[in-house]
Amino acid sequence: MSSKLIAIVAGVGPGTGASVARTFGKSYPVVCLARTPESYNDIVKEINSNGGKAIGISTDVSDAKSIENASAEIKKEFGDDVAAAAAIFNASGRFYRKPFLELEESEFFSGLDVSGRGAFLFSRAFLPLLLKGAEDQKSQHPPTLIFTGATASVKSNAFMSSFSTGKFAKRALAASLAREFGPQGVHVAHAVIDGVIDIERTKGWLKDAGEDAKIAPQAIADSYWYLHTQPRSCFTWEIDIRPYVEKWTGFA
Amino acid sequence: MSSKLIAIVAGVGPGTGASVARTFGKSYPVVCLARTPESYNDIVKEINSNGGKAIGISTDVSDAKSIENASAEIKKEFGDDVAAAAAIFNASGRFYRKPFLELEESEFFSGLDVSGRGAFLFSRAFLPLLLKGAEDQKSQHPPTLIFTGATASVKSNAFMSSFSTGKFAKRALAASLAREFGPQGVHVAHAVIDGVIDIERTKGWLKDAGEDAKIAPQAIADSYWYLHTQPRSCFTWEIDIRPYVEKWTGFA
Amino acid sequence: MSSKLIAIVAGVGPGTGASVARTFGKSYPVVCLARTPESYNDIVKEINSNGGKAIGISTDVSDAKSIENASAEIKKEFGDDVAAAAAIFNASGRFYRKPFLELEESEFFSGLDVSGRGAFLFSRAFLPLLLKGAEDQKSQHPPTLIFTGATASVKSNAFMSSFSTGKFAKRALAASLAREFGPQGVHVAHAVIDGVIDIERTKGWLKDAGEDAKIAPQAIADSYWYLHTQPRSCFTWEIDIRPYVEKWTGFA
Amino acid sequence: MSSKLIAIVAGVGPGTGASVARTFGKSYPVVCLARTPESYNDIVKEINSNGGKAIGISTDVSDAKSIENASAEIKKEFGDDVAAAAAIFNASGRFYRKPFLELEESEFFSGLDVSGRGAFLFSRAFLPLLLKGAEDQKSQHPPTLIFTGATASVKSNAFMSSFSTGKFAKRALAASLAREFGPQGVHVAHAVIDGVIDIERTKGWLKDAGEDAKIAPQAIADSYWYLHTQPRSCFTWEIDIRPYVEKWTGFA
């Protein structure tokens, strides 16, 4: 493990984010970004006590100053020549599911603030580190920038506009970055998570759907790791993920 | 022509917007919104001198206060019980085509400000007028909310993220509104303009491509009018438009 | 009306096909193709008795010999220099909705035979007539080749593979032909009919969905006519059509 | 390795098919299907001499009798209670890239014969074996049915209709089967291979594009193996694959 080649995960909570941090933490020092320490403290501690290295930085990804601060912290910790093997944007805004005409402007923009502004600021801050990881193929696996999307990234239902507008925008960003930075050796990918994730908050959901009807966060993390290991002759831009019982949405 | 059933066009410039205003102005009083009077003065004058009725209101669609002011002006002009037969959102932000890492935050957001915030504010302000037009099928044709999109609404190329993120978000908004307001009798549609529009600014473009290689703004306006005349048993959500010689993008 | 510029409609039954024939029959002599005379007799008679001109030819569009015979009949009737202003492929195979492992090979191919082979044979037979109509812009409106699709053209549900495989194939054909023949002046379009069409056979359907919950065949015909009238600077490749109350599928 | 749980690969040639057979051959006995023994002899020999088990069966996947014969051979070799852990449909028809009006009927159908009829016959023959593999979760990884697609599965260019119609149809089949058999524990997936594969036949291609500009067949096989290892709470239906330098097509 090179101490100079790190993984950065934004949106570290108890679900996908923690699993992604744990998985990438087996190969790289991990930087965990979340609004509050409560979100990342446990996983940071766990990684560090298992022989890995992790730090947490309280960050509001939709705020330019806050992202700049995270960048500075990372350089303080890992040096100015730090490079990244992976950057995973897993943050999501609050989700207001209500009739369109009842949406406050701030509610409507909760999605675009995180999935639009946040994804932009995160990419702008950490693509230079990924590019550094791609130089001379320093990173064993091509440096990877992954965006977590949702059903709403490809389908925009009624009452969902505050969520889907941000998700559509994030998908557009991911596609554009893939085309620009792929030829520079950075693998940009987008994951459409089309189902309920199995976390504390969804414990009571889908009770009658049987075992494995909710997506295991670790399985998402494994798929991200797989994307990371793809050689540069074989980059996947987009995968969709859903439980086997899901009445699914998607491209066809 | 009912003086109480109006058409509202945002993004009235010398191209599509003016043609749309002219076309809908044959059947309805037209409200033309644009940042500056220079953009709408000519077409407003033309419609009024041809026996129609038009007013222009200087409006920044991405600014909540400015949209509120436009609403107030409309009510002052047409009465508190004004209803709308059509609202066309044709505004677009400035377009910064450059390497991602050279984008200023404000440049990146120029697209989302207009196509995201602007489309939201416009829809929120004028959907109530369209719903009023749908009551008792007051409007002969189902009231229609049309969003102008672009190639970048469905494809996000390198160097285009400041543009495509907004366009993707607008398309998500259009799809969600179509599902919510269609059953209430309001026809929401999205047009993917996949080609160069034939306006003053593009005069020198595609010179070798022959006649009709650029889209006539009037043809776009005619297609919007056609969408408006569709009965409620036959709503089209999305059309793509391109010149016959276009090497086209699109859904297949 | 030039007697040498005709419209050809395949799949003329009591619904969309008859309405399309009636609509195009106001401007062009119409050739109605269907397996059996019962399918086209009424509309042929109606058009002829209203001052238009129509003929019917019993044709199995999935059979090369049968399509060749139709071509020969058309030349016998309208002369060897006959040109076409429009050709509309509205034929559909029988639809076997059942578990995949219960499908006979012949059942699975019922869709591909008509929507694949049929659409190919129809296009190959009549594109030369459309190209002739495009020469010197002989036809006032660009000659138009329209394919009727369905929800299953873009979404392939369980138990639907015998239907969706053909519809997907037809959509692929339409997209490829649009790209090849658009620059030659022939407008190729594809319509995604995403709802129940209001015909005798569907009389009892959607009873509780209220008025206009099924698509009026005449409204589909009007949309096809609109596509036909688009100038060559403004070709639409694809439209989707659904009733205002439809819980819709589609591209977003 | 259970001798009763096999992998079946159709379209075993020197490229993707052989790599897939090699990869799955490390965990399962492999049945290699191809039109002629020359296509599978080398890889069958290689697997057997490396301690694995493989057999080849000369099969025309677009011919019902030939597929039935393959099924019979498989049962003769592995017993009537044979189950499958994986079935990969990698066959492709000959590809006629030419102006539409120059296509013979047989040329047009070369794609649909293999990608339509072949994919149907293959699925119908081997889904029962995959279902058997899913019983009581007999297979460690959910039994997996993978279809190899191409750029032409989602985009249908001019001169490509004989290829894209089959690929679109195959994608429709894959989507429908995923929805029907996913809930029964069989993982159905579709891969969009969007680039040139690095095989003998493409040796001289893309010479100026630099290293890794063509997709390594082994990388495709690795991605198929990854899909196979996904747990049933996390099924991916579709992945796209392209070299990092590819000017790519795709969904956005």
* Sequence ranges of the domains in chain D: 5-241
Residues in CB range of C102: below 8 A, 6 or more apart: none
B95 pLDDT band, cuts 50/70/90, is confident
Taking residues D160-167, report their average pLDDT.
96
Residues in CB range of D82: below 8 A, 6 or more apart: D4, D6, D74, D75, D129, D132
Q: Does C190 touch chain D if contact means CB atoms closer than 8 Å?
A: no
B1 pLDDT band, cuts 50/70/90, is very low
Count of residues making up chain A: 252
What 3-state class would DSSP assign to A134?
Answer: helix
CA B206 to chain centre: 25
Q: Does B226 touch chain C if contact means CB atoms closer than 8 Å?
A: yes
Taking residues B138-157, report their average pLDDT.
95
B2 pLDDT band, cuts 50/70/90, is very low
Q: Which of A204-213, B221-230, C50-59 has the lowest mean pLDDT?
A: A204-213
Taking residues B107-119, report their average pLDDT.
94
Q: Which helix (H) or strand (E) holds B84?
A: strand B83-89
Percent of chain D with pLDDT over 70: 98
- Residue C102 distance to chain B (closest CA, Å): 31
Q: Do D180 and C159 touch (CB under 8 A)?
A: yes
Query: For chain C (length 252 residues), average pLDDT per consecutive 10?
Result: 80 94 98 97 98 98 98 97 97 92 95 95 98 89 97 95 97 97 97 94 89 96 98 97 86 79
pLDDT tens, B100-111?
Answer: 999 999 999 999
Strands annotated E in chain A: 5-10, 30-34, 54-58, 83-89, 144-150, 187-193, 238-241
Comparing CA positions, the residue from C69, C87, C122, C91 lying closest to residue C7 is C87
Residue A54 pLDDT greater than 80, yes or no: yes
CA distance linking residue B205 with residue A43, whole number of Å: 56
In this structure, are residues D75 and D4 in contact, taking their beta carbons and an 8 Å threshold?
A: no
Q: Indicate the average pLDDT of chain B.
A: 95
What 3-state class would DSSP assign to A115?
Answer: helix
pLDDT tens, D148-157?
Answer: 999 999 999 9
Q: Which chain C residue lies closest to A248 (C-alpha atoms)?
A: C157
pLDDT tens, D59-86?
Answer: 999 999 999 999 999 999 999 999 999 9
Find chains touching chain D: ≥3 CB pairs under 8 Å. A, B, C
Q: Does D48 touch chain B if contact means CB atoms closer than 8 Å?
A: no
Q: Does B216 touch chain C if contact means CB atoms closer than 8 Å?
A: yes
C-beta atoms surrounding B171 within 10 Å: 28
Give the best residue of A20, A244, A251 to mutate against chain D (max D CB count within 10 A).
A244
Chain C residues with beta carbon closer than 8 angstroms to that of D127: 100-101
D2 pLDDT band, cuts 50/70/90, is very low
Taking residues D26-30, report their average pLDDT.
98
ipTM for the complex shown? 0.96
- Intra-chain end-to-end CA distance of chain C, in Å: 41
Comparing CA positions, the residue from A72, A76, A82 lying closest to residue A138 is A82
Residue D199 pLDDT greater than 50, yes or no: yes
In this structure, are residues A228 and D126 in contact, taking their beta carbons and an 8 Å threshold?
A: no
pLDDT of amino acid A88: 98
Q: Do B212 and C232 touch (CB under 8 A)?
A: yes
Q: Which of B154, B214, B238 sits opposite C240 (nearest CB)?
A: B238
pLDDT of amino acid A109: 93
Strands annotated E in chain D: 5-10, 30-34, 54-58, 83-89, 144-150, 187-193, 238-241
B138 pLDDT band, cuts 50/70/90, is confident
| Annotation: CATH topology of A5-241 | Rossmann fold (3.40.50)
A207 pLDDT band, cuts 50/70/90, is confident
Q: Where do the H-state alpha helices sit in chain C?
A: 16-24, 37-49, 64-78, 105-111, 119-134, 161-181, 217-229
Q: Does B243 touch chain C if contact means CB atoms closer than 8 Å?
A: yes
